[in-house]
Amino acid sequence: MVVSGEDVLSDSKIKLKIQTLRKTYGDVVALDNVSMEMRDGEFLTLLGPSGSGKSTLLWAVAGLNDPDGGEVWIDGKEATHTPPPERDIGMVFQNYALFPHMTVAENISFPLEMRKVPAAARAAAVNEALGMVKLPGVSSRYPKQLSGGQQQRIALARALVYNPSIVLMDEPLGALDKKLRDHLQLEIKHIHEKLGTTVLYVTHDQEEAMVMSDRICLMNAGRIEQIGSPEELYFHPTNVFVADFLGESNMIEGRVLTTSSGTATIEIPNVGKVTTPCNKSYPAGAEIIHMTRPESIDLLTPDERRSNEATGLAKEVIMSGTVTKVFVDIGDGRIIQVTQLTQATKGHFVGEKVRLGWNETSGVILTKCSTEK
């Protein structure tokens, strides 16, 4: 497992701890000795492609599957085989899971009834929860009388109304259209910031994870590839899988010439010598992959200079609203993508010779992902 370079959390700050969790379905390894920690009040997203193990991990925390090995700890107590009702968790699903025969108020009040909260306190809590999700006037309606977005808000209110220790969300916005999904991303983020609730969230949508999360746990083939803030995973990916899964990237093979004082000088075919940060020592001649994000590369004017530069022909220019993407052939079919504000790239045409430049700190040397040999 690869983790970010953060300080070790004290036990009092750890809300959830997963230790060497393993889960198989026949010959399929869904979780391969996964370990991670989650701090109190954190919004942590399990991100990854289908089959990466993110939902299996969430269900193990919820108590909805039995792991083959390892441990789940919640609030300092082992909960690996504790029944779901005894784990003090709230759940929000993609399909809302509202009771169709109950009113909105009854749906939200249900977990409070199960905990034998007095009627007056239940009513007050329901009203507060409806205000929190900005639906104060729908308490007497039934789920079928609400839109999909409204139903998901009610499901969120029901999960939060009894102040659970952890709220688990399994792709809750997956059934909504993009505009509504984008809107609810911000609403959930703001509710989390206001309440300080601990949220473990599952999605396969990288943009959703980047917008909402304090940290992202990127999974692949039952393993954790990297855990860190959205900025860490985006600008400092630890391997090819992370760089490729999050956003767009330029990845070009090269070889190391020298490494010294946290910097490597590498040689890239058709580019020449390039300097980039390097946190480990590579032997001279080592083959590596150099990555830059398209928005970190500039199209240079004749008078501009950068620490790293390349030249090539603009093979394709795509304007998509506020940004324009220029695909530059630097030779032998090697393509570097540049993404800049549309106005900044105005006047570039297919077939034009262009100069590219990027700062030394914009590059990253990548290794293979954990599932590769």
Average pLDDT across each block of 10 residues of the chain; the chain has 373 residues. List them in order: 41 88 95 96 96 95 94 95 92 87 94 92 93 90 92 91 92 85 89 92 94 96 96 93 94 92 91 90 90 94 92 92 91 92 72 93 80 51
Q: Closest Cα to residue 3, out of 15, 18, 25, 22? A: 18
Give the span between the Cα atoms of 321 and 269, in whole angstroms: 33
At 343 the pLDDT is 75
- In whole angstroms, give the CA distance from residue 28 to residue 13: 34
Which residue is associated with the tokens 């077939």?
Answer: 351
pLDDT of residue 12: 57
Residues 365, 368, 370: CA angle, nearest 5 degrees: 130
Given this model, what pLDDT does residue 8 score? 45
Structural domain boundaries in the chain = 11-244, 248-366
Cα dihedral angle (217, 220, 223, 228), rounded to 10 degrees?
-20
The whole-number pLDDT of residue 7 equals 43
Q: Write down the pLDDT at residue 177.
A: 85
Helix (H) or strand (E) holding 191: helix 178-195
Buried b (16+ CB within 10 A) or exposed e, 347-372: ebeeeeebbbbbeeebbbbbeebbee
CATH level 3 topology of 11-244: Rossmann fold (3.40.50)
Backbone φ and ψ of 52, nearest 5°: -80, -15
pTM for the full predicted model: 0.88
pLDDT of residue 3: 37
Helix (H, G, I), strand (E, B) or coil at 327: strand
Residue type at position 263: T
What tokens appear for 293 in the block? Answer: 């994000």
CA distance 153 to 174: 14
The answer as to CATH 1.20.120.1760 being correct for domain 248-366 is no
